[in-house]
């Protein structure tokens, strides 16, 4: 086979970044949903899957090995083979009794393989394209990475759900109408007596058509209703208790809180907090309804019928609140399992939602899903083995001896910190998203919180519409346009327009916090502007990382840049919530607006080659 040093980037950039995004979403999102469907407790899911993010956090520490050993092309292909084997391994272990421990171990392998593929793919992108092409396709690679995330959270979950619903008993349909002025359905939890003599097993619900008046009720009353339903489900063996393992919560106040956080917070609140008249905010929750579910025929000895309910369509302002997974056995089949449905307390119009209960072979469904993922990565391997170019600069940084590996490992880090303007570069990487990192943590709470405390009072369904459709579309368009413009004029020309566009993230939410509009179109327009500004402005950030990583160890240096990027998002986000509580929303967004000046100051200090990113920069 002829080794081509160049190919049309459209032939491999989309698939390469699909292959980069899919294992990330498989580890971070699909694993959580799978474990939930398999009956693992929330405590264990949160504890063990959170650690799976570690390989992406520490990937700069082994990125030099990707530079030193083999080629980036070799690493990409090797990791895709390993990812295919890992996905198949997860599929193989799902049906076994010790599946949780076994699949977690393989997920660790997948996570490390995925993080290593990220290092190699980003390095290969810089080697296979000239700087003009890097600018041009930076939006395309981001778009296909986002498509991979959407595909993982959408298509693959839908596939698993479809197999769950078609491999068991007849699915249970529940249609709910909620809103003001409606007469709530009165239900009895014993009005669907099971039949011992039934020939076909099926689930029976007390009502397939449910109506809930959306009047609010005290939070204490809502909590009591949910607690009673959960306790009854535990007592009848439909769900397992998820307590705190007998541990009592430590009520002591930490030194930090007593000495720093509380005094500083009091000073900020008294001097800069919003001066509003004290309003009595009612502690109300959305109204609830309970649905009783029976099985009409006893399962065989040792057999289980697992019924899982999930939202199917409609308005997410109506949701399941409490248990959604029930295990029916020969001991409890003739007792009612209780499903609790709740409306959003801000729901002020009549709306509908549909829920679906499935009882299929859950292990089989998820095994097939991960076998498909395994096959997909074998396809990626075969396709990229043929289609990826062979850049002449893609070669190991050193001869693979123990001494050379150690020396080159140290050299990769040393040369990064010896680059010109390294201090300014690190400051830029840490501060460019300083305002956005704080805003990002409070956007959803601001949209959801009642107007009495400074929020917009949107329902959960409305927030999903705003960011799930308008937001994603605007973000994608902003990223693509950013890549095209940077390719035409170069990074230096577009650096300031892109840096200034990041201010749109603060301006729009400051406007919303001041005027708190009721017009849903205006809210969508503001979010569209904010997301477009972020997508367009973030292009400069990605291009600068590519620019600064140029040199012999560009793969390692780019990975180190991404570590500073993650740190720049993590640190401001840690104190954003606390600061908003002291300032209130309007003053918090004013603070974020002031913080938008910080990246402009560091941008002014950067020295960038005016030809970087331009087509004329490459001499052929």
Q: What is the pLDDT of residues 11-33, one digit of tens each?
A: 999 999 999 999 998 998 888 88
Q: Tell me what pLDDT residue 616 has.
A: 55
H or E element that contains 415: helix 402-417
Q: Which of 136-145, 192-201, 285-294, 452-461 has the weakest average pLDDT?
A: 192-201
Total Cβ atoms within 10 A of residue 387? 14
Residue 559 or 253, more confident: 559
Q: Which of 30-34, 67-71, 254-258, 526-530 has the weakest average pLDDT?
A: 254-258
Phi and psi at 311, nearest 5°, equal: -65, 135
Phi and psi at 606, nearest 5°, equal: -75, 145
H or E element that contains 377: helix 362-387
Whether 109 and 200 map to the same domain: the answer is: no
**Cα torsion at 140, 141, 146, 149 (round to 10°)?**
140
Mean confidence (pLDDT) of the chain? 83
Decide if 599 contacts 433 (C-beta within 8 A). Answer: yes
- Measure the CA angle with vertex 574, ends 449 and 503; round to 5°: 70
Whether 204 and 309 map to the same domain: the answer is: yes
Whether 333 and 475 map to the same domain: the answer is: no
pLDDT exceeds 50 at position 244:
no
pLDDT exceeds 50 at position 250:
no
444 vs 460: CA distance, rounded Å: 9
Q: Tell me, yes or no, whether 269 lies in a domain.
A: no
Whether 314 and 345 map to the same domain: the answer is: yes
Q: Tell me what pLDDT residue 619 has.
A: 40
Q: Tell me what pLDDT residue 190 has.
A: 46
pLDDT exceeds 60 at position 283:
yes
In total, how many domains does the chain have? 3
Residue 444 or 506, more confident: 506
Whether 39 and 146 map to the same domain: the answer is: yes
> Of 378, 397, 415, at which residue does a domain stop?
415
Decide if 154 contacts 322 (C-beta within 8 A). Answer: no
Q: Tell me what pLDDT residue 617 has.
A: 42
Mean pLDDT of 472-492: 85
End-to-end CA distance of the chain: 25
Q: What residue numbers bound the domain in which 32 lies?
A: 1-167+362-415
Q: Tell me what pLDDT residue 208 has.
A: 86
Decide if 464 contacts 529 (C-beta within 8 A). Answer: no
Residue 260: pLDDT band with limits 50, 70, 90: low
pLDDT exceeds 90 at position 262:
no
Residue 128 or 88, more confident: 88
Whether 454 and 367 map to the same domain: the answer is: no
120 vs 198: CA distance, rounded Å: 59
Q: Tell me, yes or no, whether 95 lies in a domain.
A: yes
Q: Tell me what pLDDT residue 278 has.
A: 47
Residue 367: pLDDT band with limits 50, 70, 90: very high
Residue 405: pLDDT band with limits 50, 70, 90: low
H or E element that contains 131: helix 131-153
Whether 322 and 450 map to the same domain: the answer is: no
Sign of CA dihedral 609, 612, 614, 616: positive
Residue 161: pLDDT band with limits 50, 70, 90: confident
Q: In DSSP terms, which residues pair with 338 in a beta bridge?
A: 292
Mean pLDDT of 339-359: 89
Residue 461: pLDDT band with limits 50, 70, 90: low
Q: Tell me what pLDDT residue 595 has.
A: 92
Q: Tell me what pLDDT residue 240 has.
A: 78
Whether 153 and 231 map to the same domain: the answer is: no
Whether 129 and 175 map to the same domain: the answer is: no
Q: In DSSP terms, which residues pair with 294 in a beta bridge?
A: 204
Q: Tell me, yes or no, whether 266 lies in a domain.
A: no
* Token representation of residue 620: 């052929």
Q: Tell me, yes or no, whether 608 lies in a domain.
A: yes
Decide if 337 contacts 326 (C-beta within 8 A). Answer: yes
Q: Tell me what pLDDT residue 496 has.
A: 93
By three-state DSSP, how is residue 314 classified?
Answer: strand
Residue 472: pLDDT band with limits 50, 70, 90: confident
pLDDT exceeds 60 at position 112:
yes
Q: Tell me, yes or no, whether 137 lies in a domain.
A: yes
Whether 472 and 599 map to the same domain: the answer is: yes
Mean pLDDT of 556-570: 84
Mean pLDDT of 383-390: 92
The 3-class SS string of 155-192 reads: HHHHHHHHHHHHCCCCCEEEEEEEECCCCCCCCCCCCC
What is the number of residues in the chain?
620
Whether 459 and 380 map to the same domain: the answer is: no
For 547, counting Cβ atoms within 10 Å of its Cβ (0-12 exposed, 13-18 middle, 19+ buried), the class is buried
Q: Tell me, yes or no, whether 267 lies in a domain.
A: no
Q: Tell me what pLDDT residue 399 has.
A: 61
pLDDT exceeds 90 at position 500:
yes
Q: What is the CATH number of the domain that holds 125?
A: 1.20.1250.20
By three-state DSSP, how is residue 610 classified?
Answer: coil
> Of 316, 334, 359, at which residue does a domain stop?
359
Query: Tens of pLDDT along 162-203?
Result: 787 777 788 889 999 999 988 887 765 544 445 545 567 888
Q: Tell me what pLDDT residue 401 has.
A: 60
Q: Which of 282-286, 316-320, 590-594, 598-602 has the weakest average pLDDT?
A: 282-286
Task: Name the DSSP class of 297.
Answer: S
Q: In DSSP terms, which residues pair with 184 in a beta bridge?
A: none
Mean pLDDT of 473-496: 86
* Residues of the chain above pLDDT 90, percent: 28
Q: Tell me, yes or no, whether 247 lies in a domain.
A: no
305 vs 330: CA distance, rounded Å: 9
Residue 565: pLDDT band with limits 50, 70, 90: confident
Whether 369 and 342 map to the same domain: the answer is: no
Residue 276, Ramachandran bin (φ over 0: left; ψ between -120 and 50: alpha; else beta) = beta
Q: Tell me, yes or no, whether 327 lies in a domain.
A: yes
Residue 406: pLDDT band with limits 50, 70, 90: confident
pLDDT exceeds 90 at position 410:
no
> Of 377, 396, 415, at which residue does a domain stop?
415
Residue 103 or 568, more confident: 103
Residue 398: pLDDT band with limits 50, 70, 90: low
> Could you identify the residue written with the tokens 């930090």?
256
Q: Tell me what pLDDT residue 308 has.
A: 85
Residue 136 or 42, more confident: 136
Half-sphere exposure at residue 149, Cβ-oriented, CA atoms within 13 angstroms: 10
């Amino acid at each position: 086979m002829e080794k081509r040093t160049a190919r049309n980037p459209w032939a491999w950039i989309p698939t390469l970044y699909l292959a980069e995004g899919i294992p990330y979403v498989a580890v971070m999102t699909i694993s959580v949903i799978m474990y939930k469907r398999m009956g693992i407790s929330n405590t264990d899911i949160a504890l063990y899957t959170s650690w799976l993010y570690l390989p992406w956090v520490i990937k700069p520490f082994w990125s030099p090995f990707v530079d030193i050993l083999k080629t980036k092309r070799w690493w990409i292909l090797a990791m895709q083979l390993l990812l295919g084997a890992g996905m198949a391994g997860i599929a193989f272990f799902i049906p076994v009794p010790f599946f949780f421990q076994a699949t977690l171990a393989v997920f660790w392998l997948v996570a490390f393989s995925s993080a290593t593929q990220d290092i190699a793919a980003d390095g290969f992108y810089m080697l296979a394209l000239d700087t003009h092409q890097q600018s041009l396709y930076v939006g395309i690679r981001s778009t296909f990475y986002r498509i991979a995330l959407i595909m993982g959270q959408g298509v693959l979950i839908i596939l698993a759900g479809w197999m769950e619903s078609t491999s068991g008993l007849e699915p249970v349909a529940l249609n709910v109408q909620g809103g003001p002025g409606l007469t709530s359905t009165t239900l009895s939890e014993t009005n669907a007596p099971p039949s011992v003599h039934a020939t076909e097993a099926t689930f029976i619900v007390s009502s397939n058509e449910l109506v809930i008046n959306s009047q609010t009720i005290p939070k204490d009353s809502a909590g009591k209703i949910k607690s009673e339903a959960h306790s009854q489900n535990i007592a009848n063996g439909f769900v397992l208790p998820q307590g705190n393992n007998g541990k009592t919560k430590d009520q002591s106040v930490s030194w930090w809180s007593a000495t720093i956080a509380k005094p500083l917070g009091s000073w900020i609140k008294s001097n800069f907090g919003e001066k509003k008249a004290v309003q009595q905010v009612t502690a109300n929750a959305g109204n609830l309804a309970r649905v009783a579910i029976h099985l009409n025929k006893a399962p065989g000895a040792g057999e289980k019928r697992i019924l899982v309910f999930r939202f199917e369509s409609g308005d997410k302002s109506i949701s399941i609140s409490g248990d959604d997974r029930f295990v029916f056995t020969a001991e409890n089949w003739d007792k009612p399992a209780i499903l609790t449905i709740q409306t959003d307390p801000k729901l002020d119009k009549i709306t509908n939602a549909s829920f679906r209960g499935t009882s299929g072979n859950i292990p089989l469904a998820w095994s097939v899903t991960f076998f498909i993922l395994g096959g997909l990565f074998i396809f990626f391997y075969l396709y990229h083995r043929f289609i990826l170019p062979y850049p002449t600069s893609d070669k190991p940084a050193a001869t693979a001896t123990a001494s050379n590996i150690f020396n080159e490992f140290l050299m990769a880090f040393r040369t990064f910190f010896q680059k010109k303007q390294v201090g300014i570069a690190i400051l830029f990487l840490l501060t460019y998203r300083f305002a956005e990192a704080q805003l990002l943590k409070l956007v959803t709470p601001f949209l959801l919180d009642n107007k009495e405390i400074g929020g917009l009072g949107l329902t959960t369904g409305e927030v999903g519409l705003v960011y799930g459709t308008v937001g994603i579309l605007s973000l994608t368009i902003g990223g693509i346009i950013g890549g095209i413009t940077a390719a035409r004029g170069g990074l230096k020309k577009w650096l300031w327009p892109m840096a200034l566009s990041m201010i749109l993230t603060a301006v729009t939410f400051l406007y919303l916090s001041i005027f708190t509009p009721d017009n849903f179109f205006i809210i969508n327009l503001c979010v569209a502007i904010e997301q477009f500004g972020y997508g367009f402005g973030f292009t400069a950030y990605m291009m600068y990382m590519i620019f600064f990583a140029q040199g012999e160890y560009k793969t390692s240096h780019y990975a180190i840049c991404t570590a500073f990027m993650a740190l720049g998002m993590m640190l401001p986000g840690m104190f954003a919530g606390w600061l908003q509580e002291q300032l209130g929303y309007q003053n918090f967004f004013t603070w974020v607006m002031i913080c938008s000046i910080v990246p402009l100051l560091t941008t002014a200090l950067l020295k960038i080659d005016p030809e970087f990113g331009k087509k004329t920069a490459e001499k052929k």
